[in-house]
Copies of this chain bind each other. A is one copy, B any other.
Amino acid sequence: MAKKPEIPHVVVSRLPIYLRALEHARQEGLTCISSQELGERLSISSAQIRKDLSMFGEYGKQGRGYPVDALIHALRQHLHVDRVWDVVLVGVGDLGHALARYKGFAERGFRIAMAFDKDPAKIGTTAGDLTVEDIRLLARRVQEAGIKIGMIATPAAAAQEVANLLVFAGVRAILNYAPIHLTVPNDVRVEYLDPVIPLQRMTYYL
């Protein structure tokens, strides 16, 4: 299943956006949606959407558009979110707490299964419905649970070290809230969510 060569990453990166929009459309009661309608909702050209979706199969019906339910199902399969992924959270400050309590993860296929911190004052306290554990236990706990996804919500100074630990524990995908670039092995993916970066991208145009 060599996927990278087949599907360019730009396309993959748009799929979750399509999925989210389709789920909104379904909630509105739509059963079928055209690439044009979807494109207008997302400010993406309809040709782009058709070409992207055609890489995974012919889900559309000429004259009607795409059946919403079937397409949601197909996208979930391709994105591997037709299951629930356990996630490990590291760093339980303000942001970590907000993440632990955020309902949006569970609704869309992710479950924060464990939370770690290195501050003794935090260990043993609760975050959402989790008990914060000692980061020294992370490797074993994550390994045993087979968790593949980590979220880093620590200060920048600790982030690289935490990343190393996560990789060591078997994590293959990291969502990094800390404002720093992480260096990881090639087979580990990182996505960044430093809020200042998008702000600075916008001020360029102001």
| Chain A interface residues (CB < 8 Å from chain B) | 3-4, 12-13, 15-17, 19-21, 24, 41-43, 78-81, 85, 87, 94-95, 97-99, 101-102, 104-105, 108-110, 148-149, 151, 156, 172-173, 175, 179-181, 183, 189, 191-206
Contact = CB atoms under 8 A, between A and B. Distances in A.
How many copies of this protein are present in the complex?
Answer: 2
Contacts of A193: 193, 195, 198
B41 A181 contact: yes
Contacts of A17: 181, 197
A166 B134 CA distance: 43
Given A97-B98, A98-B98, 8 more contacts: A20-B196, A79-B203, A104-B196, A105-B196, A108-B200, A109-B196, A173-B203, A191-B198
Nearest to A108: B196
